[in-house]
């Protein structure tokens, strides 16, 4: 049996510690079935979880952070001992380029749990409409591509 990947340990730890999170970015788009690839992991977490995140990632898993835990920055990049980069966004709300206000509490309440078949492992992702809104925070070509995939996938989802 192969050793658990660092990102899987992080996600399992979030779940075990009952940290409210959603995976955002291209990794979340891929989990909806888009044929894309991404190396990085982006999580949106309520700012109230900041201390728990630092204690878990820095103290328990020995990750390095880009910002000291005392700083109240909305983006902190953690680097695992194996070199994986984990972007954590601590914000109560985000406003996209269409002036839509996206609130973490609402996104968390609608989040979808994606289970790994044959295991207890799961990951939380935003509902597809919330993920589309989040992808509209920037107009980078890859975000526009992600939106196109999500809109097509949405047509085939059963609610």
CATH number of the domain at 72, please.
3.30.460.40
**pLDDT over 70 (residue 2):** no
Q: Evaluate whether residue 159 is within a structural domain.
A: no
Predicted TM-score (pTM) of this structure: 0.91
> What mean pLDDT do residues 53-64 have?
97
HEC letters along 34-60:
CCCCCCCEEEEECHHHHHHHHHHHHHH
Q: Domain residues for 114? A: 6-151
Task: Summarize pLDDT for 9-58 with one digit per residue, the tens.
Answer: 999 999 999 999 999 999 999 999 998 888 889 999 999 999 999 999 99
Q: How many domains does the chain have?
A: 1
Q: Which residue has the higher pLDDT, 37 or 65?
A: 65
Phi, psi at residue 44, to the nearest 5°? -110, 125
- The whole-number pLDDT of residue 132 equals 97
Residue 78 lies in a domain: yes
What is the CB-side half-sphere exposure of residue 65 using CA atoms within 13 A?
Answer: 23
123 with 23: CB under 8 angstroms? Answer: yes
Tell me the per-residue pLDDT of 122-153, one tens digit each, with 9 for 90 and over.
Answer: 999 999 999 999 999 998 999 999 999 999 99
Residue 156: inside a domain, yes or no?
Answer: no
- Is residue 30 one of the residues assigned to a domain? yes
């Amino acid at each position: 049996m192969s050793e658990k990947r660092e990102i899987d340990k992080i996600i399992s730890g979030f779940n075990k510690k009952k940290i409210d999170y959603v995976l955002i970015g291209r990794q979340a788009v891929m989990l909806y079935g888009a044929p894309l690839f991404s190396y990085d992991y982006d999580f949106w977490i309520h700012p109230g979880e900041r201390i728990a995140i630092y204690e878990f990632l820095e103290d328990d898993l020995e990750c390095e952070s880009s910002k000291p835990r005392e700083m109240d920055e909305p983006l902190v990049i953690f680097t695992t001992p194996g070199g994986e980069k984990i972007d954590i966004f601590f914000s109560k709300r985000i406003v996209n380029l269409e002036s839509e206000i996206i609130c973490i509490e609402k996104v968390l309440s609608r989040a979808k749990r994606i289970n790994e078949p044959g295991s207890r492992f799961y990951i939380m992702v935003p509902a597809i409409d919330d993920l589309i809104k989040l992808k509209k925070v920037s107009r980078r070509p890859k975000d526009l591509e992600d939106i196109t995939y999500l809109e097509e996938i949405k047509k085939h989802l059963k609610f």
